[in-house]
Amino acid sequence: MKIIDLRSDTVTFPTDNMRRAIFNAKLGDDVFEDDPTVNSLERISADRLGKEAALFVPSGTMANLISTLVHCNRGEEAILGDQSHMFCYEAGGTAAVGGVNPHILPNEPDGTISPDRIKAAIRQDNVHFPRTKLICLENTQNKCGGVPLTVDYMQTIRQIADANNLLIHLDGARIFNAAVALNVDVKQLTIDADSVSFCLSKGLSAPVGSLICGTKEFIYHARRNRKMLGGGMRQVGVLAAAGIVALDEMIDRLADDHKNAKRLAAGITDIDGLTVDLDTVQTNIVYFDITTDKIATDAVIENMDKKSIQFLALGPKRFRMVTHYGIDTDDIETTLTELKQVMAE
Ligand X SMILES: *Cc1c(COP(=O)(O)O)cnc(C)c1O
Contacts with ligand X, residue ranges (CB under 6 A): 59-61, 64, 85, 138, 142, 171, 173, 199, 201, 210
CB 155, min distance to ligand X, A: 21
Which residues, at least 6 apart from 6, have a Cβ–Cβ distance to it below 8 Å? Answer: 309, 310, 311, 321, 322, 323, 327, 335
CA 116 to chain centre: 25
Question: Which C-beta is closer to ligand X: that of 15 or that of 67?
Answer: 67
Q: Write the single-letter amino acid at 73.
A: N
CB 216, min distance to ligand X, A: 24
d(CA 147, CA 135) in angstroms, rounded, equals 19
Question: Which C-beta is closer to ligand X: that of 30 or that of 171?
Answer: 171
CA 296 to chain centre: 29
Helices (H) and strands (E) counted in the chain, each on its own, are 14, 13
Question: Which C-beta is closer to ligand X: that of 205 or that of 210?
Answer: 210
CB 171, min distance to ligand X, A: 5
Strand positions, DSSP E, the chain: 4-5, 53-57, 76-81, 101-105, 131-138, 167-171, 195-199, 210-214, 274-276, 285-290, 309-310, 312-315, 318-322
Contact by Cβ (8 Å): 204, 17: no
CB 344, min distance to ligand X, A: 33
Q: Write the single-letter amino acid at 88.
A: C
CB 62, min distance to ligand X, A: 7
Question: Which C-beta is closer to ligand X: that of 122 or that of 175?
Answer: 175
CB 55, min distance to ligand X, A: 14
Give helix 254-269 / helix 175-182 axis angle, nearest 10°. 80
Question: Which C-beta is closer to ligand X: that of 101 or that of 142?
Answer: 142
CB 131, min distance to ligand X, A: 25
Residue 275, φ and ψ in degrees, nearest 5? -140, 145
Closest-CB residue for ligand X?
60
Question: Which C-beta is closer to ligand X: that of 61 or that of 225?
Answer: 61
d(CA 301, CA 315) in angstroms, rounded, equals 12
Nearest to 200 by CA among 327, 38, 80: 38
Question: Which C-beta is closer to ligand X: that of 167 or that of 204?
Answer: 204
- What residues form DSSP beta bridges with 290? 274
Cis peptide before 140 (omega within 30 of 0): yes
Question: Which C-beta is closer to ligand X: that of 60 or that of 267?
Answer: 60
CB 13, min distance to ligand X, A: 16
